[in-house]
């Protein structure tokens, strides 16, 4: 038998097993402590980024970068939800499980999100911007992400508590759970309005 064909077959068998394991891990309900780990890990990371952001060369530039990071996250939240969660094969399967059982504690493991934010946000920014601005932009992105995780939890588990802005977000997200072509923003309807996917039923 051809050794190359054997190695190729083994590689694809391993890849299929890895995919099945990842799907099982991400679609299974997480233990409560693992689900809430974001709320333990992200605040100190954000604080660290803020301390670095307002170092010797911080100031108004860092404030602007934090705002830009928040805005950047809100756009990423919309795009990830609209295109990755509803069209990428593996992510779509996991996300539709959330649509079927929205009160289950499902989410991306904290270790994965921290690695993604470091590898795709902070580290590349340190090559493009001065250190304070890279940290500030990252702080904005992380603040936005933590707001997303928090609002999404509140939307499905706690309710508005009488807050009109939160009641509006809950209503918009409830529409999305019944109409997957609209209302992809969780923390804001801004990008749904910009891209014409806002539905206020």
Of the listed ranges 29-33, 53-57, 156-160, the least confidently predicted one is 29-33
Q: Is the pLDDT of residue 35 over 90?
A: no
- Which band of pLDDT confidence, cut at 50, 70 and 90, is reported for residue 109? confident
Q: What is the mean pLDDT of residues 145-172?
A: 87
The per-residue pLDDT for 68 is 98
Neighbours of 109 (CB within 10 A): 15
Task: Quote the CA–CA distance of 94 and 177 in Å, as a whole number.
Answer: 14
Is residue 151 within 8 Å of 163, Cβ to Cβ? no
pLDDT tens profile 50-102: 999 998 777 899 999 999 999 999 999 999 999 988 887 777 777 777 777 77
As given in the structure block, the two tokens for residue 172 are 């918009």
For residue 169, the Cα-to-chain-centroid distance in whole angstroms is 17
Q: What is the mean pLDDT of residues 169-187?
A: 89
Burial track 16-26 (b if 16+ CB lie within 10 A, e otherwise): eeeeeeebeeb
The per-residue pLDDT for 129 is 94
Predicted structure pTM score = 0.83
């Amino acid at each position: 038998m051809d050794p190359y064909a054997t190695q190729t077959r083994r590689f694809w068998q391993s890849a299929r097993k890895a995919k099945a394991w990842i799907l099982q891990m991400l679609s299974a309900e997480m233990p409560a402590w693992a689900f809430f780990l974001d709320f333990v890990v992200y605040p100190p990371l954000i604080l660290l980024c803020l301390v670095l952001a307002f170092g010797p060369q911080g100031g108004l530039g860092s404030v602007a970068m934090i705002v830009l990071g928040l805005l950047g996250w809100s756009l990423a939240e919309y795009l990830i939800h609209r295109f990755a969660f509803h069209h990428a094969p593996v992510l779509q399967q996991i996300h539709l499980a959330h649509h079927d059982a929205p009160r289950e504690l499902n989410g991306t493991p904290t270790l994965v999100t921290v690695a993604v934010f470091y590898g795709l946000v902070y580290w590349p920014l340190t090559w493009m911007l001065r250190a304070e601005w890279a940290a500030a932009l990252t702080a904005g992105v992380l603040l936005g992400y933590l707001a997303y995780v928090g609002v999404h939890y509140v939307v499905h588990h706690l309710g508005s508590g009488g807050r009109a802005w939160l009641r509006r977000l809950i209503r918009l997200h409830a529409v999305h759970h019944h109409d997957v072509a609209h209302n992809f923003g969780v923390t804001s309807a801004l990008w749904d309005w910009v891209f014409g996917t806002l539905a206020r039923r």
